[in-house]
Chains A and B, each alone.
Chain A
Amino acid sequence: MSLLILDGVSRSFDGFKAVNGMTLAIEPGELRAIIGPNGAGKTTMMDIVTGKTRPDGGTVRFDGHDMTRIDEAGSARLGIGRKFQKPTVFETHTVEDNILLSLRDDRGVFATLFSGADDTARVAELLALIRLEDRRLDLAADLSHGQKQWLEIGMLLAQDPKLLLIDEPAAGMTDEETARTAALLRDLAGDHAVVVVEHDMEFVRALDCRVTCLHQGRVLAEGSLAQVSANEQVVEVYLGR
């Protein structure tokens, strides 16, 4: 059974249909790229899946749960990790604390108030994976833009989610960082389902996965990158610009 299913989902803002009858299914462990012009509804789709925005109609199911009645924290607890379009880390905390706060653990007020030992081994492992071991005790504010993106990805992994929703990870990264990010995401797929929104077609090519093109709040085309790029409508609204 699919991990994430959107069926006929709609949402309008002041009469403007940002998402309009969107139907989409993501399998467990799948890597999926989502492309589409600005305003196609990519970010709004993620808002709906994570309970930030309530849909006007349609169903959203994740791992058997109805996501239209769940808040952001609830979606995280069910196993959805989300990276924002604008990198968001806790700037006044150290890199290490950013990871520590993200580790899978009891999230209740009193649990954190009296929390004991930290899983130092897991923190070290994650810091190695995102290549920030030597920045461990620096404030997150002092990282470069690309490093913040990586830290945020590390924070998602610390949650050990079933589904990763990643909005434009390559923005602001150097070519080398971009290539490494694509490799990392490919690595993660299999253990986690990964949905990546990206405009950078080089990056999408590097992901080497199934591609969905959104336009005006609905799915325009879906298939391999070759199939989608050959689609006339896709060329017209997106690639041909």
Chain B
Amino acid sequence: MEKGNDAVPAPRSGHTATLNRKTLLNTRGTIFLCVLAAVAVGVPYLNATGMLPDYAVSLIGKYLCFALLAIALDLLWGYCGILSLGHGAFFALGGYAMGMHLMREIGERGVYANPDLPDFMVFLNWQELPWFWWGFDTFWFAALMALFVPGLLAFIFGYFAFRSRVTGVYLSIITQAMTYALMLAFFRNEMGFGGNNGLTDFKDVLGYDLQSQDTRIGLFVLSALAVAVGFLICRAVVISKAGKVIISIRDAESRTRFLGYRVEGYKLFVFVLSAMLAGLAGALYTPQVGIINPGEFSPANSIEIVIWVAIGGRGTLVGAAIGAVIVAASKTILTGLYPEAWLFVLGAMFVFVTIFMPRGVLGVWDGMIDGMWRMRGMDPNERRLRA
């Protein structure tokens, strides 16, 4: 036994002297990763045996990108209490960075067969490649930019917002204004990002044909991997001491400051990390859907991400991913059947969940497990401590 513990009465139910720390992989996280692995293997398998049509692979791949985006937002909103209504912007920037590389890979195969310029630039009568397109011929540079640009924007934005102590609704509104401003900017042809049409007609990535099913399966598996990695990064942050500080900021910001923590620094860290994960999601999204356009910056998109997280269960990471998939899949099904009804259904889902399932789908699941523990005569609190 360690010295100094003698004065302490034996802790309940066999907890050791080390302070209670959560593990990287709790039961829920393990189940989540197993399901993810099953999907990563099962979907390509079903596709190969002809039980799943080709388009479904990219469709599910798209949902996985959304799941990663939702996890990123949940880290920020669920744990740090910062409601970003502009997270779609970071996703779109990551998507554009990858899209720019895919445009460069087209090379001479464009309609105008210009080896130096993408089609839309030739169409605009531009003579040379603008400086901000330099380097995007290299895949790794573009991949890095897909993380770096959203991260940098989040850093600059967060630095000023958090330092001036903008919080709550005001912060949400300016994040929304940010994505709106970017949308307007990207719509302009002179910006050099393809304007209205965005970037599309991609041919291949790293030499692999984007139209081939093998490439699509590769991208699909990469997306599943990205969700797993993103989840593990967020989980590691959340269970660390820094994660406890972040939750403290959410619950009692002022108390946290008076304990000597520079709240701005923690918020900035979470904001930048979250933006980079959103950028990664965007970078995987573009090659799978084959287009990135300014519509991705639309405020409605960002609000939809918030709804995913709310429906899945805020502050759970896993719930955010589940919410994203449930909502995105419903959207696919419904917009096929009744396109006009979708926004009403989305609104109704949101209202229903807020009123009847305040902790989201995962909250209901948790309640059921708690009930089972009680039935077996055990204290659900013990479970919570390890969750």
Contact = CB atoms under 8 A, between A and B. Distances in A.
A58 B261 CA distance: 27
Contact of B251 (A92, A102, A123, A125): A92
A63 to B, nearest CB: 15
B248 interface: yes
Contact of B257 (A72, A81, A108): A72
B344 interface: no
Contacts of A61: none
B241 A101 contact: yes
A93 B247 contact: yes
Contact of B18 (A72, A97, A118): A118
Interface in B214-251: 237, 240-242, 244-245, 247-248, 251
Interface in B352-387: 381, 385
A72 B266 CA distance: 15
Contacts of A90: 247-248, 251-252, 255
A88 to B, nearest CB: 4
Interface string A86-125: 0011111110110011100001111011110110110111
A43 interface: no
Nearest to B9: A133
A114 B20 contact: no
Interface residues of B, number: 38
Interface stretch (A22-30, A134-142, A179-187): A134-142
Given A90-B252, A97-B20, A101-B244, 20 more contacts: A71-B262, A72-B257, A73-B257, A73-B262, A88-B255, A90-B251, A93-B244, A97-B244, A100-B241, A107-B259, A108-B262, A112-B241, A113-B241, A113-B269, A115-B242, A120-B4, A128-B7, A134-B9, A138-B381, A159-B260
Contacts of A213: none
Contacts of A124: 4-5, 7-8
Contact of A121 (B2, B241, B248): B2
A138 B381 CA distance: 8
A159 B259 contact: yes
B7 to A, nearest CB: 6
Nearest to A50: B258
A114 B240 contact: yes
Given A73-B263, A101-B244, A136-B11, A94 B385 contact: yes
A136 to B, nearest CB: 6
A102 to B, nearest CB: 5
A115 B240 contact: yes
Interface string B322-361: 0000000000000000000000000000000000000000
A204 interface: no
Interface in A64-78: 71-73, 75-77
Contacts of B265: 108-109
Interface size band for A: 35 or more
Given A93-B244, A94-B20, A112-B245, A72 B11 contact: no
B113 interface: no
B266 A109 contact: yes
A125 B7 contact: yes
A127 interface: yes
A113 B244 CA distance: 10
Contacts of B263: 73
B156 interface: no
B385 A82 contact: no
B370 to A, nearest CB: 14
B129 interface: no
B256 to A, nearest CB: 8
A124 B6 CA distance: 10
A125 B255 CA distance: 22
Nearest to A116: B241
A193 B240 CA distance: 33
Nearest to A123: B19
Contacts of A100: 19, 241, 244
A84 interface: yes
16 contacts: A71-B257, A73-B259, A82-B258, A84-B258, A89-B255, A92-B247, A97-B244, A101-B245, A101-B248, A107-B259, A113-B237, A120-B17, A121-B3, A121-B4, A124-B4, A155-B259
